[in-house]
Amino acid sequence: MNLTLAIGLWRQRLASPVRVVILGLLAVLPPTLMALVPGMGLAALSNGYPIAMVFAVGMIGQDVSSGVLQLVLARPVTRSEYVFSRWLAAGLGASAVSLAQVGLGWALVAIRHSPPDPRAMLLFAAGREFEIFGVVAVMALLSSLMGGLGDLALYVVLNVVGGIMSMVGQFQHVAAVSWLGQELGALLSPHVELAQIVAGTPSWSALAAYASNLTLCLLVAVLVMNRKELSYASG
């Protein structure tokens, strides 16, 4: 990872008041809900995608739109290094916030009720890491395709399309359409069932699908970046 590029992304994110406010709300509200509603448990914290999105949306596209990318690539840095650095930086930033959120949830529940099962919390936090790095890889791909915040719009549209296909397939009993919709959904919401692995009943195909999606997203993002012709005279 190129530390300069990583620090650049963190600075960009922390300089945006909207992103900082959303991160603050995401870090505090779900753990509070978890503590206030008994029985809700870890479901109150939901998944790691919203936190990851705050860091990942526009991770490449915003640099393209603002003309920063031309300046970055004028330096001796490879395009693949740029993609990996952005991916890792967004993933690490989201991981830090996610761990803080889970820790806060644990502390609030421990104060108000009794401490939650530490094993379940650990599994949950670790599962979140897979979700975060997986979805950030997807956003790296979408962000390499769309300028500005277009990656978020594309993500939402693809999610809706996947949901519709899945529903239509289920209602009309067309297995292929349903399967396509589910695969699209799985690509956009990557996760690994750690509980199954710990229980000794892992789904190897799900694990391979996760790793395959992640590497393919990064590979295609690098390929797209390599094909980009950046005009140094524009703007």
Partner 1 sequence: MPPADPASGGSTRSIPRWLLVAAAAFLVARVATGIFEQRHPPIQAELVQWHPAGAGEMQSRSTGLPVLYDFSAEWCGPCQKMQREVFADRSSAQTINGLFVPVRLVDRQREEGRNPPDVGALQARYQVDAFPTLVVAPADGSQPTVIVGYPGKAALMQQLTAAGVKARLQRGPVR
By CB under 8 A, tell whether 16 contacts partner 1.
Answer: no
The C-alpha atoms of residue 82 and residue 70 are separated, in whole angstroms, by: 12
Check residue 42 for interaction with partner 1 (CB under 8 A).
Answer: yes
Closest contact distance (angstroms) between CB of 193 and partner 1 is 6
Cβ proximity to partner 1: between 37 and 96 the closer is 37
Indicate whether 219 belongs to the interface with partner 1 (CB under 8 A).
yes
Q: Please, what is the minimum distance in Å from the beta carbon of residue 203 to partner 1?
A: 5
Q: Would you list the DSSP string of 24-49?
A: HHHHHHHHHHHHHSTT-GGGGG--SH
Kindly indicate which of the ranges 59-67, 104-112, 143-151, 186-194 contains the residues binding partner 1, using the contact rule CB under 8 A.
Answer: 186-194
Secondary structure of 66-96 as H, E, C letters: HCHHHHHHCCCCCHHHHHHHHHHHHHHHHHH
In SS3 terms, 136-194 reads as: HHHHHHHHHHCCCCHHHHHHHHHHHHHHHHHHHHHHHCCHHHHHHHHHHHHHHCCCCCH
The interface region with partner 1, picked from 51-59, 94-102, 137-145, 213-221 by CB under 8 A, is 213-221
Q: Which positions touch partner 1 (CB under 8 A)?
A: 2, 4-5, 36-44, 46-47, 49, 73, 75-81, 120, 123-124, 127, 163, 166-167, 170-171, 175, 178-179, 182, 185-186, 189, 191, 193, 195-196, 199, 201-209, 211-212, 215-216, 218-219, 222-223, 226
